[in-house]
Structure 1
Amino acid sequence: MNASPPTSSTSPLGRAGRRPLIIIGAAAAVGVLTLGVLVAVGGQRLERIGYYADWNAANRGFTIAELQDNGAAERLTRLMWAFGAIAPDGLCHIPEDNHDQPWELYQRRYTADESVSGEADPYTQPLAGGLNQLRQLRELNPGLGASLSLGGWNWSTHFSEAARTEESRRAFVSSCVDLWLRGDLPVLGDEPQGGQGVAAGVFDGIDLDWEWPAGGGHPDNTEHADDPANFTLLVAEFRRQLDALEEETGREYTLSVSLPGADGAAKSYDGAVFDHVDFATVQGYDFSGPWMDRTAHHSNLYAPESAPEANSVDAALRRYLDQGAPAEKLVMGLPAFARGWQGVEPADAGRGQPAEGPADDDYDGPTKAFSDAEELEGERHLDEDAGAFWVYDGDEWWTYDNPDVVDLKGAYVTEHGLGGLMVWNLDMDPDGAFVRAMDESLGG
């Protein structure tokens, strides 16, 4: 790994004043608290983070207003907007041919019935669309932060080129700061939206979801052998420019990264990344799926007795701790979705059994939203030792995190002094039940 620039931080969370977390022992002089209970200094809550995908409104009819109506907004500490795109020239941009962008993003005028505020958007207002709805949501929920997440599975294609050199990193970060934090949106077509600073303040953070600098991502991704080292340098450059922006505006900006839970990819990350970020989310899901010919849990907290060598959330987190990650900077990622197989043999209620292929669902093939998984009929099983849940319905087998598993994972977070919980993604939880379970598992 290349050495990264020295951090400007001395605080436990990477920067002074950023929600340091401590474990209060039973003999501490600050009241009667059980050993191992996690307490946030200054009364700050542990992170409760939810991803909102920019295709939720266009493809699912799930708008930002739903988060106000179902109570999720008041329970979350941060919303991650997925995803920001990277152009072939290695700069942040808004594509004009994906997910109905830029129309849904900042040009669509919402009616009063659709809007968070309950008021219709004037035709000529400079910011409309989902970004204006997010601005309204944050005005109603002052404790809710918002980060723009860059990349994801489909849009990490050009991350490698953006991170390749000192010059490219500086230009890339500057373009992202201008577009997403300064809010300089392009004026496109005949629409009146856009212009310098029109989206300023909508986001107060950047999340880097490069999938993955170690390889194994989308087959269209550009890859170079030095991607892992360049990722660390890129994170440091984001930290440098965000610190400079803070000095300029007097506002704080959050920097985070999304990390894989799989064993091989995790080993390629440099522990120096954690010197520069406020937190890192670890994807505690997709350990298995219907691409495999046998059923297996995809988000189990521990390896089950039936498969002691299986991946687990616990193993994923420990790998980053071994690399030097402070526990309080690791946020455990949870799935608000199930993975399913069909043609499953009944032995052991379908667990670990051969399957004919993926189950089918209206949401996304072998993926079922949490809200729909909760309505499944059939045998329901909780493995408390593995921290996993499944439903055997006819010859279909579905595994997902039900509220019991969420509770077990929240207890793990507090016991081990982690930074909180994250969920992908909020449209799979239209009633806010998953977010409520996540919040309550961390103490409400």
Structure 2
Amino acid sequence: MRNKNVTTCRRRYLQSAGLLAATPLASRTVGASGADEDDEDDHHRPSTTKRIVGYYPSWAGDYTPHDVPYDNLTHLNYAFLETEADGEVKLAVVGDSAPEVLEQFEAVTHEHPETSFMLSIADFGSNMSSAALTPENRERFARTAIEHMRKYNFDGIDVDWEYPDGSVREEDPENFTLLLEELRRQLDEAEREDDGKTYELSIAAAPIPSNIDPLEVDKIADVLDFINVMNYNFYGSWSSETNFNAPLYAAYDDPTYWQRLLTVDHAMQYWAEQPISRDKLVLGTPFYGFVFDGVTNENRGLFQPFDGADTRTYDDVRTNLKTKPHYQYHWHPDARVPWLYSKEDDVFVTYDDRHSTMEKAKYVRRNGFGGMMCWELSQDPSNTLIGAIHTVLGRYNR
């Protein structure tokens, strides 16, 4: 978006969010709130801009760019562009509908100048490791990514490398830093060429310490505007017993309570201990859940063995499962998330609803984090969950 007034407005947004500071606020701390803690009287709190980030996949199908509630978002992340081993960024993985969808978004960017549009670049296999390996590849990665960004009138780049923890190449964490620094250098150059336009840079990051610890957080914090922490898939089809996809807190009756690092709270507080400002940390939440089959009628299906499991969108759970009378709704007072159980079908369902999503948004507000992100918008075409986030955090963006 080349309009100078829009650029000024966005720069004002970044300043209010603390994103144009020269150094991260490593010493800033805000204590974690307990699950039963009530919100304090918010009119006594200073108003702080919160990001509301929605990922939109190129395979969204009937959920089109015009179905997105842009008034409820600060950022729209288009997913995904892909990476070649030599660093070249290409428009889409085989079978996706880009660039047709991107062409639709190019028109939408002019209609919604208050939303920042980001191109998310994913890692498929080991290509990102190769792309980050040499100065030439890193230069090509940044240059081709920015070419696409400018072509479709987008406002920044989001990098989704899962994960630069040294598992492919030992030097991946250091090369990841160099890749982001090269991106930031070229984005700064593009800003100067494009009449002072502000281009943002973000990453999607893991919630697990073993993936976080290898990163040079003190260095990447200087070049990133924010980090989307992917707080989901804590439990699923790979687990030994039914459990929650994205619990806010640990459940005290969980037999694996000692593994309480598998919670949203632990992930966000662990990130907050890193040398990065809390207001650059964005809490990710899922718009999907897991359906477990072959679950016996013990403890209403919770913490039980199962035969198999698969993902289901929030829309599918809401319209096709929750409406059936033999699927009973339950709420966990510790984990702060719901589940469904059908003893007739022997099925356990873990998902997030409007209630749990608002609980997480309130947690963001209480703990001074930078906002919320969802994966992904087309999984809730009713826009119920993104609306719930906006209900809690949107007033901070007025």
**Alignment TM class, shorter chain as reference:** 0.7 to 0.9
1:232 aligns with 2:177: yes
Residues 41-440 of structure 1 mapped to structure 2, 5 A cutoff: 45-57=49-61, 61-67=62-68, 72-94=69-91, 98-100=94-96, 104-106=97-99, 129-152=100-123, 155=124, 157-178=126-147, 180-183=148-151, 199=152, 201=153, 203-214=154-165, 223-249=168-194, 250-271=196-217, 272-307=219-254, 308=257, 309-310=259-260, 311-358=262-309, 366-375=310-319, 376=321, 377=324, 378-394=327-343, 395-440=346-391
Query: Which residue identity is paired with 1:433?
Result: T
Structure 2 distance, partners of 1:319, 1:35, is 29
SS in structure 2 of the partner of residue 407 of structure 1: helix
Q: Is the 8 A contact 1:389 1:401 kept in 2?
A: yes
Structure 1 distance, partners of 2:292, 2:89, is 38
Query: Which residue identity is paired with 2:291?
Result: G
1:15 aligns with 2:15: no
Larger RCO, structure (CA 8 Å, separation 6 or more): 2
- State the percentage of identical aligned residues: 31
Structure 2 distance, partners of 1:142, 1:384, is 41
SS in structure 1 of the partner of residue 95 of structure 2: coil
Q: Which segments of 5 or more consecutive residues in structure 2 lack a partner in the other structure?
A: 1-13, 31-39
Return closer, same or farther for 1:338/1:13 CA change in 2, 3 Å cut-off: same
Displacement after TM superposition at 1:182 (Å): 2.8
Displacement after TM superposition at 1:144 (Å): 1.1
Return closer, same or farther for 1:224/1:94 CA change in 2, 3 Å cut-off: same
TM-score, normalised relative to structure 2:
0.83
Partner of 2:9: none
Return closer, same or farther for 1:36/1:291 CA change in 2, 3 Å cut-off: farther
Return closer, same or farther for 1:371/1:38 CA change in 2, 3 Å cut-off: farther
Indicate the RMSD between aligned Cα atoms, in angstroms.
Answer: 2.7
Partner deviation per Cα, 1:342-371 (whole Å, 9 max, x = no partner) = 11122211111111112xxxxxxx111111
Q: Which segments of 5 or more consecutive residues in structure 1 lack a partner in the other structure?
A: 1-8, 25-31, 107-128, 184-198, 217-222, 359-365
Q: Is the 8 A contact 1:156 1:211 kept in 2?
A: no
Return closer, same or farther for 1:94/1:339 CA change in 2, 3 Å cut-off: same
Structure 1 distance, partners of 2:80, 2:394, is 30
Q: Is the 8 A contact 1:37 1:415 kept in 2?
A: no
SS in structure 2 of the partner of residue 346 of structure 1: coil
Displacement after TM superposition at 1:393 (Å): 2.1
Partner deviation per Cα, 1:186-235 (whole Å, 9 max, x = no partner) = xxxxxxxxxxxxx3x1x11100100111166xxxxxx2111011111211
Q: Is the 8 A contact 1:330 1:418 kept in 2?
A: yes
Q: Is the 8 A contact 1:13 1:279 kept in 2?
A: no
SS in structure 1 of the partner of residue 47 of structure 2: strand
Structure 1 distance, partners of 2:391, 2:17, is 26
